[in-house]
Structure 1
Amino acid sequence: DTPAKILHTILLGVVKYYWGQTIWLLEKGKDFALFQTLLNSILADGLNIPKIQADYMCQYKGGLIGKHFKTLSQIMAFAVEGLVPADVLEAWLILGHLTVLLWHTEIDDVKSYTAELDVCINNFINITCKCSPSILILKPKFHFLLHLPFFIQRFGPVVLFSTERYEAYNAVFRACSIFSNRLTQSRDIAWSFTGIKAHCHWRVVEGFLYRQMDVCQSEGHAPYLGAPGNGGHGGITDQGYQRAG
């Protein structure tokens, strides 16, 4: 009953599989250098990305992450035309369409949307049967695609129930561990999170600051802000505070 996650099912799943197969075909035909040149020549004006890291993606082709595969799913059809078999090119075209369909945060007509998505998924499965039939048996993520329309009808757009974005909070947890003395890490991490919670409580609930930045709501906040580091956490420079009114 757990919905499929698009990061691991799509980007780190089927897109990654086709990326590996395409790279193998390009290197076999000695066209990889030409492919890199074509990839560099693609304009990123129509994409919501700062830059297409073509040289990086070609140099580290075996260690790409989700954002790279999201970019590749949209531009590969333009870079590999004439360099790979027609079935592989068609697979990239369908993958680009599938990626656009899935990265929606709002669906106006769920019935028509899921019908279009179901057709796109079936087309992708069919073209995969032509490109590499054995991968449908070896990789279960192709089967997970068939359940996406049902998950969307039940939970909404896949972007909204994707939990991978919350993994960004791991950086906070890792920072608390790095700045620990490594003797009692659990205690140090707990203290760090306690301080973060206290600061959030002051910042959001009690510690309203006026625009003058030298007037605070309660006289109890002045000693708190005067403690080392507390004012800096809120982007406040060291200065005097006084009660409002």
Structure 2
Amino acid sequence: MDRALVIGASGGIGAALARALEARGAEVARLSRSGDGLDLRDPASVERAMAGVEGPFGTVLVATGILAPEGRGPEKSLAALDAEAMAEVLRVNVVGPALVLRHAARLLPRRGRSALGVLSARVGSIGDNRLGGWHSYRASKAALNQVVRGAAIELARTHREAVVAALHPGTVETSFTEAYAPGHGKVTPEEAARRLLAVLDRLGPAETGRFWDHEGREVPW
């Protein structure tokens, strides 16, 4: 039986990913802030939570992130930037996942195909940024993409069949997006999970270290 690890499993997308993996017959280990005290803002918390899981896992998914600190929204202009709010977004969206990825080498099998997917966002694409705004969130996802890229390069030296990918899930119907009504609409967490797993299934070692959306299209950095 395949084993999978979902980090951020109490969130809308994370929970849907865990259920979808179980429906495939995988044995799923879950980590979350509410269930395990995994606080991405606290390095000691990350280390404690990660120390409690033992690989190997054929699939590891990092489904974490915040749009803005609680009680705030993404900035619409540079004038709205706040240093502490920006720092919190970076701690949760970049530093925390990077500390999780420190454990990737021991969590993935040395031999055989494995997949490590990290939820990013299209707005983190520098090449696709035509509207500006949302500065902290955009910057955090762009930085996260660089961490994912570096992790893929490093892991390829020891885990030759591993696939590491930054993934854009689309706009998903969760509490994360309830204040926004994009013109292209939203997808359910279940549909987003199905699409993301289908994308990961199609990727091989030649595609590692790249950025993909939920329809399997590559997103520019």
User: What TM-score results when the alignment is normalised by the length of structure 1?
Assistant: 0.22
Q: Which has the higher helix share?
A: 1
Higher relative contact order (CA 8 A, sep 6+): 2
Q: Which has the higher strand share?
A: 2
Largest Rg, 1 or 2: 1
